[in-house]
Amino acid sequence: MIKVVSFKICPFVQRVTALLEAKNMPYEIEYINLSDKPAWFLALSPTGQVPLLMTENGVALFESDAIIEYIEEISDPDAENGTPEQRAIDRAWSYQATKHYLVQCSAMQSANQETLAERSVKLNAAFEKAENQLGGGPYFHGAHMGKVDIAWLPILHRAQIVEKHSGYDFLASYPKVKAWQVAMSSTGVAEQSVPDDFEQAFSNFYLADRTFLGRGANFDEGPIEKAAAAGGGCCC
Ligand SMILES: N[C@@H](CCC(=O)N[C@@H](CS)C(=O)NCC(=O)O)C(=O)O
């Protein structure tokens, strides 16, 4: 069986597990501690990053883009999946999501309102592009959930948890993206793609008292020293 080496709150891993869940493909998962990477993992992973996927032939694959393409190929080797142009366009729209995973991670870690605004500029531009591209929904290409939807899933899922815990809605100005988030959520794939304690682990990291969102996105709070609060990195 395929095995995914994971870190619980990594968005790149979630893209991979969401695709496996959406395709009903069985897989094992092993979580590692990224601040104390096991020797076996470092021996297998050229980058030292998760996700790492072990194929049924025992080959270690790295880089989520490559892993996604591998899963697409083995799950449906004969699928045409549209024209070469359509596939290129899908990859480009997927890239619009994945290049913003770390941007969202950084925005969520903002210590104060000003930092959140600064760090949200690029994220908002990405939401704006998606808003202009989305049609009548419910998914990116209409009736069926596809690879572009899966690429955006980690961002939409995280925005949903942030809103639930803090009241702050990253998508407030983007009604079509908001409707897309609701449609994606109703599939259940987001919950299936993360461990049971994901929301807790995510909140402990991003919605702790050191972050503006963790303190309930209180726009009336006084100045908070940036240095005393959150850094700008990702989950790891
Ligand atoms: N380009 C990589 C990015 C993966 C990535 O940034 N993974 C993070 C966790 S979210 C990681 O493993 N960080 C540990 C490290 O860089 O040492 C991919 O798409 O797979």
How much is the mean pLDDT over the chain? 93
- What is the band of 221 on the pLDDT scale with cuts at 50, 70, 90? confident
Is the pLDDT assigned to residue 147 strictly greater than 50?
A: yes
CATH level 3 topology of 84-228 = Glutathione S-transferase Yfyf (Class Pi); Chain A, domain 2 (1.20.1050)
For the chain, the structural domain boundaries read 2-75, 84-228
Among residues 122, 112, 140, 129, the alpha carbon closest in space to that of 174 is found at: 129
pLDDT for the residue 225 = 59
Provide residues with CB under 6 Å of ligand 1: 7, 10, 12, 34, 48-51, 63-65, 234-236
Rounded distance, CA 61 to CA 55, Å?
7
Residue with tokens 């908070």: 224
Q: How far apart are CA 124 and CA 130, in angstroms?
A: 10
Side by side, the strands of the sheet bearing 27-31 are 27-31, 2-6, 52-54, 60-62
Measured between alpha carbons, how far is 96 from 38 in angstroms, rounded to an integer? 32
68-118: per-residue pLDDT in tens? 999 999 998 767 678 899 999 999 999 999 999 999 999 999 999 999 999
Interval 25-60: pLDDT, tens: 999 999 999 999 999 999 999 999 999 999 999 999
Please say whether the beta carbons of 6 and 27 come within 8 A. Answer: no
Domain 2-75 fold is Glutaredoxin (3.40.30)
Distance 170 CA to ligand 1 centre (A): 23
pTM of this prediction exceeds 0.85: yes
Distance 69 CA to ligand 1 centre (A): 17
Residue 222 predicted with pLDDT over 90? no
String of DSSP letters for 105-124: HHHHT-SSHHHHHHHTHHHH
Q: What is the pLDDT of residues 131-146, one digit of tens each?
A: 999 999 999 999 999 9
Beta strand 2-6 pairing with 52-54: antiparallel
Q: Which of 207, 224, 203 is nearest to 216 (CA)?
A: 207
Nearest CA to ligand 1 atom 11: 49
